[in-house]
Amino acid sequence: MLPSEPDAGTTAGGQQAEATAERTAERPTRKTRPLTDVIGRAKSVSQVDEYNFKQPRIFSQDQVRLLNYVHDAFARGLSVYLSNRLRTIVEVRLEAIEQLSYADYVTSCDVPSALYVTRASNTEHSAVFEVDPRFILFLLDKQLGGSGEFPENRRAVSPIEQRLMGRLLNRAYTELSTAWGEIATMKFEETAFETIAEFVQIVPGTEPVLVARLKLVAYGHECFMNVCYPYLLLKQVLGRTGIKQWLARSRGEMESALKEIYEKELGESKVELRMELGEARIPLTELLSLEVGDVIPLDRRASDDISVYIGSREYCKARLGRVGKYQAIGITELVNQYDNGLDGTD
């Protein structure tokens, strides 16, 4: 028997299937994405803040704002003192205020370092002043008549150098006490000095502390000064009553008695009041040839309003006149009252 010929329909269908398979094989494989990726691209990326449940934040925003205010004032006062002492500009600025555990703070301290333990008056707790040893060596070298070169390597501060730094540190304590003055009466007194942070135990390692980190810049060199407060100290100082009183003073209205004093003192202040009749531009040759009796035409007519200035600010427009035997002006229009800060806000 002869083999049967294949069916035409079957042959055409097989060839079409083979061609489709070849095109599919040649087409690059398209990777599929999970549905969550597609949804994620459609939504805006949300900002996630880290939160440590083992060490929750214990300072409110008002307390942090107050602490920034205190240490900004401390940085300004210390900057002025150091600039006068070194006869050059020394920049001191607050970098950050961080909440850490005391163990984490000790770990972050350099070795060797210069750690001054101070006790705050009216409290049973101590704070730690950490000063970059390089700045101490630079400052002492400058004060003792040296070239004032900034040391590249860090080394421990000797007992003699520690004593010589006593006056500067006492001034730093005074500046910090002054900065705290609007919130609480705090006077810092030095009780101990260490070069290794592990030997300073003001609170247990698990207790939270707040560290104010300041940067000092002198002669293009950067160094640091840190102030470490235990939470128990700040809790006593930053009680709710003290916080509310300070916020009330900073946000509330001025006391009536103080307002009367300001109004009385400012009311007796003398200010310059002057009128500008007009302007004129003439060549220099004509200016040099002026004689008594010459007339210079101005850019205003006699009937036009003149400008009245308080200090350097134009306050109003006015017209010239006379009251009895005295020359006078009559105010016709206030000019830029709000832009000049004359609305009572400045």
H or E element in which residue 212 lies: strand 208-218
CA distance 266 to 280: 36
What is the arrangement of strands in the sheet containing 326-334, beginning at the earlier edge strand? Answer: 273-276, 306-310, 313-323, 326-334
Residues 238-296 have pLDDT tens digits of 764 455 555 555 555 556 776 777 777 777 778 888 888 888 888 988 888 888 988 88
- Summarize pLDDT for 23-35 with one digit per residue, the tens: 555 555 544 444 3
Band of residue 344 on the pLDDT scale cut at 50, 70, 90:
very low
CATH number of 61-251, picked from 3.90.180.10, 1.10.3720.10, 3.40.1550.10, 3.40.190.10: 3.40.1550.10
DSSP 253: P
The whole-model pTM stands at 0.54
Second CATH level (architecture) for the domain 269-334: Roll (2.30)
Q: What is the dihedral of CA 279, 280, 284, 287, to 10 degrees?
A: -90
Q: Within a 10 A sphere around the Cβ of 132, how many other Cβ atoms? A: 20
Say yes or no: do domains 61-251 and 269-334 share a fold: no
Counting every residue, how long is the chain? 346
Distance, CA of 172 to CA of 214 (rounded, Å): 13
H helix or E strand, kind and range, residue 108:
helix 102-108
